Structure 1
Amino acid sequence: MAAAVVTKTAWKLQEIVAHSSNVSSLVLGKKSGRLLATGGDDCRVNVWSVNKPNCVMSLSGHTTPIESLQISAKEELIVAGSQSGSIRVWDLEAAKILRTLLGHKANICSLDFHPYGSFVASGSLDTDIKLWDVRRKGCIFKYKSHTQAVRCLRFSPDGKWLASAADDHTVKLWDLTAGKVMFEFTGHSGPVNVVEFHPSEYLLASGSSDRTIRFWDLEKFHVVSCIEEEATPVRCVLFNPDGCCLYGGYQDSLRVYGWEPERCFDVVLVNWGKVADLAICNNQLIGVSFAQSTVSSFVVDLSRVTKSGSVPHGLLRSDEPLAQPNPTGSSLRRSYDRPSTSCSKPQSRVKHSSESERRSPSSEEERDEKESKAEIQNPEDYKEIFQPKNAISRTPPRMNEPFPAPPEDEPVAAKEAAKPNQPVELQTPLPKQELPEPVQMPPIASSTPLPRAEPSVIPAARNEPIGLKASDFLPALKNQSQTELVDEEIMSQIRKGHKTVCMVLTSRHKNLDTVRAVWSTSDIKNSVDSAVATNDLSVVVDLLNIVNQTASLWKLDLCTVVLPQIEKLLQSKYESYVQTGCTSLKLILQRFLPLITDILAAPPSVGVDITREERLHKCKLCYKQLKNISNIVKNKSGLSGRHGSAFRELHLLMAVLE
């Protein structure tokens, strides 16, 4: 009797070296689910066909790392935003630069194409949202309301609204025609990273660093429900095409949610790491993630995933009726009215845009477009995707075949029976009367993929891998005795440092006990003084991590003590120290910098006012310390990655000091 072949619910599809340096952004085409664009610190945008090893097209022209990417709904255009604030739009079929859009003052954090018109929305670290007319190269409107970086932008399915999510913990809904905020959704306690419209209903989902997902009613403007704190923040969200559920991508899993009431239908373990985008094609969910210079793609078989209280099709017995999904509120809310023609551009308030934003293309923009190039790396794949035979439109061809799922790991006996390097042949299915009785399938939780050997990294359009391997840092070993010798040396090094580590930890524990004793008196200033007196930055970091959680604890005299410590933290070699220093400095700048500048700019008082003199002295001291720190922040604002973004944001906040 032949055993039934059981396929996996989720599996890794491919891993490629996408750039010669770190990957900084990536996005999937939502129409086909097969088009992938990656941006890197090498200032290039590379275009790929999912599950193919070679780069299809490489786009150059940016002079700083790519921070954000988006592919148009028809997968004919791609837009990329850089660290310097410039935006470039490419025509993929013509393989050429289409537009260069300049105007933002800092990193481009988010981009989105309008679903019906030739418009692009951009959100930046400078807190502005701009709407661009790609055909005329101009900024037709600038929306100003957020107070911190705009992390995600999404147009509504009917093209009338724009939703924005930002680090200021808010989600705003904009009326494009009126050019103003329709409503501001508050409730998240951390930066909001992602936002997504329901495909048909007046419903919006937002995911935050506070580890919650909130669902908002766009007709009554209130929160529908909230998925409470998961173990890690959600990285990306996507509604199922029929709107029955929401998929959330986390560090190590895919979660399936309903919102009326809020509940988790299913959890599929997927070790994809920094998952950046999701798309659905042929009842399969495609997810892409990145780590350093590599990009990995994953597949989840949605027929084996529980949605809306239904039983996955793959787990039904042949004699069982198909369970109907529970309605998720389609009768409770309005649906979008989708126009049959392209959307007209916003009117009425375009006059508020500055002349500089509506000017004709500058010589700088024209030069940028001349220097930008679209190089076809793989002509065969390029013709297959962007120039199909007898194509009427510029839409990439739909691929009807889903990605094949690898079989589950074979039993040990079967593996031993199989010859090395020779696949095990599947027997021909038996006649219907000889089939065994249906076997009860395990629950969904146990249908997650088992550990298996990862595919080797496929270099992108290269004959050799990029970068060094771990073995490059180890001495060449010729025999087993040398291996044992190396192990002994390692153990010797560990033993040598063991006593030192114990002494350091004992000292740190003693210092923390001292600080805790002062903390129990509720005197924050003396607590920080005692932490500084220990001359141990790790103790200062531990205390600041607590103080940073409650902004009301900060006073002006506390700033005079903390600022010199922040200067040390920002120059530390430890990532956690730098992160704590940036958080503390940001709090100080937001709460006290306007006060400091106002007091210093005020005319001198008449008579003797001791309280005012003390406040003036503290402000002068803080101003001097902030000036010293501003030089460090300015020097580090050119860094790439997460810390680079944090330093650039601090640099903007400290601009008043210059």
Structure 2
Amino acid sequence: MATPVVTKTAWKLQEIVAHASNVSSLVLGKASGRLLATGGDDCRVNLWSINKPNCIMSLTGHTSPVESVRLNTPEELIVAGSQSGSIRVWDLEAAKILRTLMGHKANICSLDFHPYGEFVASGSQDTNIKLWDIRRKGCVFRYRGHSQAVRCLRFSPDGKWLASAADDHTVKLWDLTAGKMMSEFPGHTGPVNVVEFHPNEYLLASGSSDRTIRFWDLEKFQVVSCIEGEPGPVRSVLFNPDGCCLYSGCQDSLRVYGWEPERCFDVVLVNWGKVADLAICNDQLIGVAFSQSNVSSYVVDLTRVTRTGTVAQDSIQDSRPLAQQLPQPSAPLRRIYERPSTTCSKPQRVKQNSESERRSPSSEDDRDERESRAEIQNAEDYNEIFQPKNSISRTPPRRSEPFPAPPEDDLATAKEAKPSPAINSQFPVPNVEVLPRPPVVASPPPPKAEPAIIPATRNEPIGLKASDFLPQAVKIPQQAELVDEDAMSQIRKGHDTMCVVLTSRHRNLDTVRAVWTTGDIKTSVDSAVAINDLSVVVDLLNIVNQKASLWKLDLCTTVLPQIEKLLQSKYESYVQTGCTSLKLILQRFLPLITDILAAPPSVGVDISREERLHKCRLCYKQLKGISSLVKSKSGLSGRHGSAFRELHLLMASLD
């Protein structure tokens, strides 16, 4: 009898070239977990079936990069928003454009379909949230309240509320029937990137760039708990379908959290980088990430992941499969969502709380819809997914067998899913004994009809040592391995210039750090500028940007000339840091500068006021010089173009 092969907890499934240019957005279908939509700088929206190499359908019509995409729950419709502010809705089963929605004045950052009614919510860089009636191409409501770009929108499971997350560090809850804000949830200290409703209870989770996840009680409108210590900005979270835990897609790992009390149940290492979206299908969690024009998909076997546990059990790993783990009692359940049995009624209009922007279809809309097309690229896959012959209902079933895991190559890779507790000191991961793996019996190759899977083993180390990278002449047969110093000296050979640059940068940073320890931020920045090394300025600004309270008016006068250099740099990280610093200065000081310059002159001698006035004039002059540069770059495509357009809007008052 053949011995069963031990499989992995997480593995890479596939990597595809999704667009002719950079991918700018993507989303997974949450119902099936197998349908993927991608938006690109090539202005197209492409549809894919997970683990199949060919594009199913390509949707055209947008004339600027697609910044946000979203599938509705039955995966029949898709909506896409562009940098120009236009929104298009396609019917996937009919393979045609359904609606073109115009009204936003800047990038579309977030979209969501209403779970029951034929409505779409859109959030933009223009800070507005709009609710659209798909049937009539009209804007039902415009919600105003955020002061910066709206990054994420989610309808509640019962379709009565809308949650919004924005760069202004806040989460807001809107009542769709009344057309007004119900509550605002402050507390995050960085841009809020994602919000998710609990599938059953009145509970909301929000993830932020401040590396925290907060849980909000929607009955008492207060924070339930806060999970800190995330390894990076929180970009994607997902509740388990039964609501027992929350999954967080971290940098190269999946973390499983509980919230009453806050604790980490498990950490699974997944080399997915910055995962952009998550979905669950057949006890498997699917994660997708993009880089340039490539999109990668990954699988985590949830039957091998711990998702529940009492407080007393947090130090002991429950090694039973997920299906055998009993749900653990926690705090009393909150109120449960009452889902309607039919589609929800049309929201009422409340004139004093919202602005109606309903308009009749125009000839321009008709032209846009004629120019928007749905091109079927792969008829076989399209018919299988959207036009099955045995389909009784309009929505075909898309669930199938779980994605097969590649076999383990050795015992070391079997441990990759259980990192050491040192990964997260605040939420220690319980130790689990790894049993020896029985011998692997070779199995026959799979049939050729099966879709090709890129084995995760291709991306794993294959046992090379440092000496394997060294020239043949330096290898000594009798020496088992080189000592660290010898290996490093050999690695440095041929890289003298880079070593000199890095050594000089390290020395300059030590000089700045010595000044920083005195607590004088302004002098620290002055010393970094005096060194005349932009890399040191970037390193220092990346620290100062983390805390807005460190910024003062005199600091702006020193930093603004450096920002102008960074915005013109050929290095992407320099431009990104320059944009972040300039955005902080504009938000924090531009209103103050314009107010002081517009104020009438004071009577008598006021030295402190004169100094402040001098600083404001200097900053204003520097900002005017930068504004022309920002305006010239606001026409760029991609993420830099988006950042420059946002800065251009913030600098509008300078004109």
> What is the TM-score of this pair, normalised by structure 1?
0.83
Alignment partner, residue 58 of structure 1: 58
Which residue is equivalent to 1:564? Answer: 561
Cα distance in 2 for residues equivalent to 1:360 and 1:351? 23
Gaps of 5+ in 2: 310-316, 413-436, 448-453, 461-470, 474-488
SS in 2 for 1:290: strand
Please tell me whether the aligned partners of residues 199 and 243 of structure 1 are also in contact (alpha carbons under 8 angstroms): yes
Match of 1:478 in 2: none
1:141–1:350 contact (8 Å) kept in structure 2: no
Distance 1:202 1:531, change over 3 A: same
Question: Corresponding residue for 1:349?
Answer: 350
Residues 232-289 of structure 1 deviation map (CA, whole Å, 9 limit, x = unaligned): 2333111111111111112212222111121222222221223221112222222222
1:326 corresponds to which of 315, 328, 335? 328
| Structure 2 partner of 1:206 | 206
Deviations 1:560-611 (A, max 9, x none): 2221121111112233322322222112111211122223333445565554
* SS in structure 2 of the partner of residue 184 of structure 1: strand
**Distance (Å, rounded) in 2 between the aligned partners of 1:391 and 1:71:** 20
What is the aligned partner in structure 2 of residue 656 from structure 1? 653
1:552 aligned residue:
549
Structure 2 CA distance for partners of 1:556 and 1:92, relative to 1, 3 Å:
same
Q: Mean alpha-carbon deviation: is it higher for 402-411 or for 107-116?
A: 402-411
Give, in angstroms, the shift of residue 515 of structure 1. 4.5
Q: Secondary structure at the match of 1:452?
A: helix
Could you say what the CA RMSD is over the residues aligned between the two structures, in angstroms?
A: 3.2
2:630 matches 1:633 = yes
Q: Which amino acid aligns with 1:579?
A: Q
Contact 1:235 1:251 in 2 (8 A): no
Q: Is the radius of gyration larger for structure 1 or structure 2? A: 1
Q: Which amino acid aligns with 1:324?
A: L
| Alignment size in residue pairs | 593
More displaced stretch, 552-561 vs 191-200: 552-561
**Corresponding residue number in structure 1 for 2:612:** 615
What is aligned with 2:187? 187
Distance 1:269 1:502 in 2: 32
Aligned 1:30-429 pairs, distance under 5 A: 30-309=30-309, 311=318, 314=321, 322-329=324-331, 331-350=332-351, 354=355, 357-409=357-409, 423=445
Whether the 8 Å CA contact 1:258–1:328 is kept in 2: the answer is no
The Cα of 1:374 is off from its aligned counterpart by 0.5
Deviation at 1:454, TM superposition (A): 5.7
Alpha-carbon distance in structure 2 between the residues aligned to 1:496 and 1:324: 59
Q: For residue 284 of structure 1, what is the amino acid of its counterpart?
A: Q
Which SS does the other structure have where 1:148 is aligned?
Answer: coil
Deviations 1:113-138 (A, max 9, x none): 00010110111111111111111111
Rounded to whole Å, the distance in 2 between the matches of 1:585 and 1:547 is 12
Runs of 4+ displaced beyond 6 Å: 410-419, 491-494
Q: Measure the CA separation in 2 of the matches of 1:302 and 1:510.
A: 47
In the TM superposition, residue 13 of structure 1 has moved relative to its aligned partner by 2.2
Deviation at 1:9, TM superposition (A): 2.1
One-letter amino acid of the structure 1 residue matched with residue 105 of structure 2: K
User: Would the alpha carbon gap of residues 610 and 307 (structure 1) be closer, same or farther in structure 2, given more than 3 Å must change?
Assistant: closer
Spell out the pairing of 1:376-525 with structure 2 (5 A cutoff). 376-409=376-409, 423=445, 452-453=457-458, 495=493, 498=496, 500-501=497-498, 504=501, 507-508=504-505, 511-512=508-509, 515=512, 519=516, 522-525=519-522
The letter of the residue matching 2:259 is W
> Which stretch of the first structure deviates more once superposed, 192-201 or 221-230?
221-230
1:384 Cα deviation from its structure 2 partner: 1.6
Quote the residue 1:461 is aligned against: none
Provide closer, same or farther for how the CA distance between residues 576 and 55 of structure 1 changes in structure 2, counting only shifts above 3 A.
Answer: closer
For the pair 1:528 / 2:525, whether they are aligned, the reply is yes
Counterpart for residue 594 of structure 2 = 597
Q: Give the 3 Å change call, closer, same or farther, for CA 36–527 of structure 1 in structure 2.
A: closer
> C-alpha distance in 1, partners of 2:440/2:550?
66
Q: Give the secondary-structure state (helix, strand or coil) at the position aligned to 1:56.
A: strand
Deviation, 1:511, is: 4.7
Tell me, in whole angstroms, the C-alpha distance in 2 between the residues paired with 1:11 and 1:509.
Answer: 37
Q: Match of 1:529, as an amino acid?
A: D
TM-aligned CA deviation for residue 536 of structure 1: 2.6
Pair 1:182–1:450, CA change in 2 (3 A): same
Deviations 1:281-331 (A, max 9, x none): 222222222222222222222222222139465489xxxxx44220344x3
Q: Does the 8 Å CA contact 1:140/1:350 hold for their aligned counterparts?
A: no
Corresponding letter in the other structure for 1:337:
E
Give the letter for the 1:28 counterpart. Answer: L
Residue-by-residue CA offset, 1:4-57 (whole Å, 9 max, x unaligned): 232322222222221111111111111122211111111101112222221111
Tell whether the 8 Å contact from 1:636 to 1:644 is kept in structure 2 after alignment: yes
Question: SS of 2:265's equivalent?
Answer: strand
- Go from structure 1 to structure 2 and tell me whether the alpha carbon gap of 1:416 and 1:390 turns closer, same or farther (over 3 Å shift): closer
Equivalent residue runs for 1:6-17 within 5 Å: 6-17=6-17
Report the CA distance shift for 1:262/1:626 in structure 2 as closer, same or farther (over 3 A): same
Structure 1 pair 395–311 and aligned structure 2 pair: CA distance change class (3 A): farther
Contact 1:68–1:111 (CA under 8 A) maintained in structure 2: yes
- Cross-structure match for 1:577: 574
The match for 1:467 is: none
Counterpart-to-counterpart distance in 2, 1:298 and 1:545: 31
Write out per-residue CA displacement over residues 610-657 of structure 1, whole angstroms, 9 at most, x where no aligned residue. Answer: 544443333232222111111111222233444333222211111111
Q: Distance in 1 between matches of 2:492 and 2:574?
A: 25
Q: Would you say 1:645 and 2:646 are equivalent positions? A: no
Distance 1:183 1:28, change over 3 A: same
One-letter amino acid matched to 1:539: V
CA distance in 1: counterparts of 2:410 and 2:34, whole angstroms: 30
TM-fit CA distance, 1:424: 10
Once the two structures are TM-superposed, the CA of residue 396 in structure 1 deviates from its matched residue by 2.7
Structure 1 counterpart of 2:552, which letter? K
| Residue 215 to residue 340, structure 1, CA distance change in 2 (3 Å) | same
SS at match of 2:596: helix
Pair 260,20 (structure 1): closer, same or farther in 2 beyond 3 Å: same
Given the two structures, how large is their TM-score scaled by the length of structure 2? 0.83
Aligned match of 1:432: none
CA change 1:21–1:401 in 2 (3 A) is same
**Contact 1:15–1:297 (Cα < 8 Å) also in 2:** yes
Deviation at 1:492, TM superposition (A): 12
Q: Secondary structure of 2:234's match?
A: coil
Q: Which runs of 5+ in 1 are unaligned?
A: 317-321, 426-448, 456-482, 486-490
**2-structure distance, mates of 1:615, 1:64:** 43
- Quick one: distance in 2 between partners of 1:406 and 1:510? 47
Q: For the residues of structure 1 that align with 2:459 and 2:607, how far apart are their CA atoms?
A: 70
* Structure 2: distance between partners of 1:615 and 1:411: 66
Q: 1:373 offset after TM fit, Å?
A: 0.5
Partner residue, 2:479: none
Report how far residue 510 of structure 1 moved. 5.6
